[in-house]
A = this chain, B = another copy of it.
Amino acid sequence: MAIENGDFVKIEFTGKVEETGDVFDTTNQDVAEEAGIYNKEKNYGPIPIVVGGKHLLPAIDEAVLGMEVGDNKKVTVDPENGFGHRDSSLVQLIPMKEFKKQGMTPYPGMKITAEGQTGKILTVNGGRVKVDFNHELAGKTLDYDLTISEVIDDDTEKVKSMINLHYAYPNMDLDKTEVEFDEDTIKIKLDEITHFDQKSYMDITFARYRISKDLYENMPYDKVQFVDEFEKRAEEESEETEENTESEE
Contact = CB atoms under 8 A, between A and B. Distances in A.
Interface residues of A, number: 50
A209 B236 CA distance: 13
A79 to B, nearest CB: 14
Given A196-B202, A200-B201, A56 B247 contact: yes
Nearest to A195: B205
A136 B24 CA distance: 62
Nearest to A228: B226
A197 interface: yes
A174 to B, nearest CB: 18
B216 A228 contact: no
A223 B227 CA distance: 12
B227 A232 contact: no
Contacts of A109: none
B249 A236 contact: no
A140 B207 CA distance: 51
Contacts of A226: 227-230
A83 interface: yes
Given A227-B226, A229-B225, A230-B212, A243 B54 contact: yes
